[in-house]
Amino acid sequence: MFASIQQRLALPPKAIIWGLLTANGFLIALMLALAKTATAYGVPAITYAFWQTLIAGSVLLLCSANIRRVLDKRLTTYFVISGLTGIAIPNAIAFFLVTKLGAGFTGIMYALPPIFTFLIATTMGLEKRSWTKLAGLSVAVSACAWIVLQRHSEMSQSNGLWFALGLVIPAALSIGNVYRSVAWPGQTRPMTLAAGTLLASAAALGVLAGLSGTPLIAPEFGLRFVPLIFLQGLLTALTYYCGFELQKRSSPVFYSQLGAVAAVFGLIIGVAWFHEQYSLTIWLGALTVIVGLRLSNRAPQK
């Protein structure tokens, strides 16, 4: 699909991956905004995440030219681990926290995976330690800590455990990033991997909903929930398709900038859509996070 578009428009590969990065970051931030709207109707976070991933996975499965590949037992482990770490766990937490801490702040958590990914990769010996990366990550971590402290002081009714829970989002995403890089199945299309990952996530969320007694369908959700979740499902399908295409076409360093883009869009959407208010220190902190991540992702000079 993207190859044909690239041929028609004669766009250079670099422009394609930058477009994917920007679009994917915006879609992630938009998903959080839609989730906040849905949960305002009384829809549990697990329920919303279940239908979101089930619809998205089903759409990509139908669009896939090789449905049997998604059902390949040899890919089951990949789909389960990728689905849990990359979608089910972080999204369920994010959809819960977005009603407590706001769309902008929750989006900041998506800017942190490069930090956790770097720590995991260096510990496993997958990447060499770099003073430039260390300096950049130190700046980003300090800025994120400052944002948390500032946001916590502005929200008198906030529970400190919510902020600690938010750190599970980048931790899970980072584990998923490392795993996908190491275990990426050869000769498998990004759409197939995205479909299988989303459906595995939906299955895990369905089991979690059953164990926790969370209803997947209830009259009190209202009819407004139906078009909203279908829109979310379509956006999610596009988001994860773009994400797998981006991961296939770019380097891990370039891909790691996705969270920072999503964080910026998250703050903008939080202000424009929900009229959230952020102090100047939070905006400066968000900018510092991006600067730190950009510094950590700079290629070493030869």
- In this predicted structure, the answer to whether residue 55 has a pLDDT above a threshold of 90 is yes
Q: Rounded CA gap, 40 and 79, in Å?
A: 31
Question: Is residue 39 within 8 Å of 201, Cβ to Cβ?
Answer: no
Q: What is the pLDDT of residue 237?
A: 93
Q: What are 56-112's pLDDT values in tens digits?
A: 999 998 887 667 777 777 788 899 999 899 888 887 888 788 777 776 667 677 777
pLDDT band at 222 (very low <50, low <70, confident <90, very high): low
pLDDT reported for residue 151: 58
If you ran DSSP here, which 8-state letter would residue 86 be given?
Answer: I
- pLDDT given at position 302: 47
- Tell me the C-alpha distance between 201 and 204, whole Å: 5
Q: Locate tokens 């899970």: which residue?
A: 172
Residue 253 is predicted with a pLDDT of: 64
Query: Which tokens hold the place of 204?
Result: 């895990």
**Tokens standing for residue 20:** 């994917």
Domain ranges of the chain: 20-296
Quote the CA–CA distance of 38 and 198 in Å, as a whole number. Answer: 20
Q: pLDDT band for 54, please (50, 70, 90 cuts).
A: very high
Dihedral-angle region of residue 10 (phi above 0 means left; psi in -120 to 50 means alpha; beta otherwise): left
User: pTM of this prediction?
Assistant: 0.78
Q: To 5 degrees, how large is the angle CA 239–CA 94–CA 108?
A: 80
| Cβ–Cβ < 8 Å for 27, 194 | no
In 3D space, the residue among 49, 42, 30 whose CA is nearest the CA of residue 110 turns out to be 30
Contact 194, 243 (CB under 8 A): yes
DSSP letter at 87 equals I
Q: Please state, rounded to an integer, the average pLDDT across all residues of the chain.
A: 79
Alpha helix segments (H runs only) across the chain? 2-9, 13-39, 45-63, 67-70, 76-83, 89-101, 103-108, 113-123, 131-154, 160-166, 168-183, 190-212, 225-249, 252-255, 258-272, 280-296
Q: What is the pLDDT of residue 9?
A: 53
Whether the CB-CB separation of 107 and 260 falls below 8 Å is answered with: no
Q: Side-chain half-sphere of 224: how many Cα atoms within 13 Å? A: 11
How far, in Å, CA of 34 to CA of 49, rounded?
A: 11
The predicted model gives 244-254 an average pLDDT of 77
Per the listing, tokens 């164990």 go with: 211
Dig out the tokens for 283 from the structure: 């905006």
Q: What's the alpha-carbon Rg for the chain, to the nearest Å?
A: 19
Please state the rounded mean pLDDT for residues 218-242: 84
Instruction: Return d(Cα 176, Cα 168) in angstroms, integer.
Output: 12
